[in-house]
Structure 1
Amino acid sequence: MIDERVPVLIVGGGLAGLTTALFLGLHGVRPLLVEKHASTTRVMKARGQYPHAMEAMRVAGVADQLRAAGPGGTTDFYMVVAQSLAGPVLTSIMTSGEMSMRHVSPEDWSMASQERTEPILAERARELGARLCFSTALRSFEQDDEGVTAVVENVGTGGRRVIRADYLVGADGRRSPVREGLGVGTHGRGVLGHLLRVFFDADMTEPLAQLPGVAQGRKFALFHLLNEETPGIFYTTDVPGRYGYIRGLSRESTDHRSLPEEWFVDLVRRGLDLPDLELKIVETGETPLVESVADSFGVGRAFLVGDAAKVVPAPGGLGGSTAIMDGFYLAWKLAAVVRGQAGPGLLVSHDAERRPVADMIAEQQFANTLERLAPELDDGTAAEIISPVLQVFGYRCAHGAVVREPGDAGELIEDPTRPTGRPGSRAPYVPLRDNGRPTCTTWLFGQGFVLLVGADAPAWERDAAEVAARLGIRLDVRRVLGPDHAGPGLVDPEGAWTRAYGISERGAALVRPDRFVAWRSVGECTATELERALRIVLDRSA
Structure 2
Amino acid sequence: MREVEVPVLIVGGSLVGLSTALLLGHHGVRSLAVERHRGTAIHPRAAQINQRTMEIFRTVGIEQIVRQKSGEQFVQDGAIMAVETLAGKELAWFISNLNEGIRDVSPTERVFISQSLLEPLLKARSLELGAELRFGVEMVSFEERAGGVTAVVRDRASGSEQTIHAGFLVAADGAHSRIRERLGIRVRGRGAFSNSVTIYFRGDVTPLLRGRNLSVIYVNNPLLRGFFRFEKPFNTGFLAINMLGDPDKPITDVSTGLTEERALELIRLALGSNDIPITIENIMPWTATAEAAEHFQRGRIFLAGDAAHVMPPNGGFGGNTGVADAHNLAWKLAMVIKGKARPDLLSTYEPERLPVAEFTVEQAYSRYVTRTAPYLGTKGIQPVEDDLNVELGYAYNSAAVIPDGDVAPRLHENPRESRGRPGTRAPHVWLDFKGERISSLDLYGSKFVLMAGPDGVDWPESARRAAERTGADLDIHRVGAAGLNDPGRSFADAHGIAASGAVIVRPDGFVGWRAADAAQASAETVARILSALTCR
CA distance in 1, matches of 2:40, 2:470: 38
- The residue aligned with 2:524 is 528
CA distance in 1, matches of 2:308, 2:399: 18
- The residue aligned with 1:389 is 388
CA distance in 1, matches of 2:10, 2:326: 11
After superposition, residues 214-229 of structure 1 pair within 5 angstroms as 221-229=215-223
Does the residue aligned with 1:168 lie in a helix, a strand or coil?
A: strand
1:468: Cα distance to partner? 2.7
CA distance in 2, matches of 1:79, 1:203: 20
Equivalent pair of 2:81/2:94 in contact (CA under 8 Å)? yes
CA distance in 1, matches of 2:97, 2:80: 10
Does the residue aligned with 1:513 lie in a helix, a strand or coil?
A: coil
- The residue aligned with 1:320 is 319
- The residue aligned with 1:234 is 228
1:77: Cα distance to partner? 2.0
Does the residue aligned with 2:476 lie in a helix, a strand or coil?
A: strand
- The residue aligned with 1:128 is 129
CA distance in 1, matches of 2:394, 2:276: 45
Deviates more, 1:165-174 or 1:419-428: 419-428
Does the residue aligned with 2:48 lie in a helix, a strand or coil?
A: strand
Deviates more, 1:263-272 or 1:155-164: 263-272
CA distance in 1, matches of 2:13, 2:259: 34
1:240: Cα distance to partner? 5.0
Q: Would the alpha carbon gap of residues 98 and 146 (structure 1) be closer, same or farther in structure 2, given more than 3 Å must change?
A: closer
Equivalent pair of 1:454/1:508 in contact (CA under 8 Å)? yes
Q: Would the alpha carbon gap of residues 18 and 263 (structure 1) be closer, same or farther in structure 2, given more than 3 Å must change?
A: same
Deviates more, 1:305-314 or 1:422-431: 422-431
- The residue aligned with 1:31 is 31
Q: Which amino acid aligns with 1:384?
A: P
Does the residue aligned with 2:191 lie in a helix, a strand or coil?
A: strand
Summarize deviations over 1:130-189 as a string: whole Å, max 9, x none: 000111101110102311010100011110011110000000000011111221111100
Deviates more, 1:88-97 or 1:397-406: 88-97
Deviates more, 1:371-380 or 1:175-184: 371-380
Equivalent pair of 1:503/1:522 in contact (CA under 8 Å)? yes
CA distance in 1, matches of 2:266, 2:119: 31
RMSD (Å) for aligned C-alpha atoms? 2.0
Deviates more, 1:373-382 or 1:60-69: 373-382
Does the residue aligned with 1:161 lie in a helix, a strand or coil?
A: strand
Equivalent pair of 2:449/2:474 in contact (CA under 8 Å)? yes
CA distance in 2, matches of 1:470, 1:161: 43
Equivalent pair of 1:198/1:244 in contact (CA under 8 Å)? yes
Aligned residues: 527
TM-score by length of 1: 0.93
Summarize deviations over 1:357-410 as a string: whole Å, max 9, x none: 111111111111112211111251111011011112211112341112321211
Q: Would the alpha carbon gap of residues 93 and 28 (structure 1) be closer, same or farther in structure 2, given more than 3 Å must change?
A: same
Q: Would the alpha carbon gap of residues 414 and 230 (structure 1) be closer, same or farther in structure 2, given more than 3 Å must change?
A: closer
CA distance in 1, matches of 2:314, 2:505: 32
- The residue aligned with 1:484 is none
Deviates more, 1:228-237 or 1:176-185: 228-237
Match of 1:247 among 238, 241, 246: 241
Equivalent pair of 1:71/1:220 in contact (CA under 8 Å)? no
Q: Would the alpha carbon gap of residues 238 and 142 (structure 1) be closer, same or farther in structure 2, given more than 3 Å must change?
A: farther
Q: Which amino acid aligns with 2:388?
A: V
* Matching of residue 364 in structure 1 with residue 363 in structure 2: yes
1:58: Cα distance to partner? 0.4
Equivalent pair of 2:80/2:98 in contact (CA under 8 Å)? no
Does the residue aligned with 1:222 lie in a helix, a strand or coil?
A: strand
TM-score by length of 2: 0.94
Q: Would the alpha carbon gap of residues 255 and 360 (structure 1) be closer, same or farther in structure 2, given more than 3 Å must change?
A: closer
Does the residue aligned with 2:22 lie in a helix, a strand or coil?
A: helix
- The residue aligned with 2:477 is 478
Identity %: 36
- The residue aligned with 1:354 is 353
Summarize deviations over 1:386-444 as a string: whole Å, max 9, x none: 10111122111123411123212111123221233221122112222223432221121
CA distance in 2, matches of 1:307, 1:400: 25
Deviates more, 1:153-162 or 1:224-233: 224-233
Q: Would the alpha carbon gap of residues 270 and 337 (structure 1) be closer, same or farther in structure 2, given more than 3 Å must change?
A: same
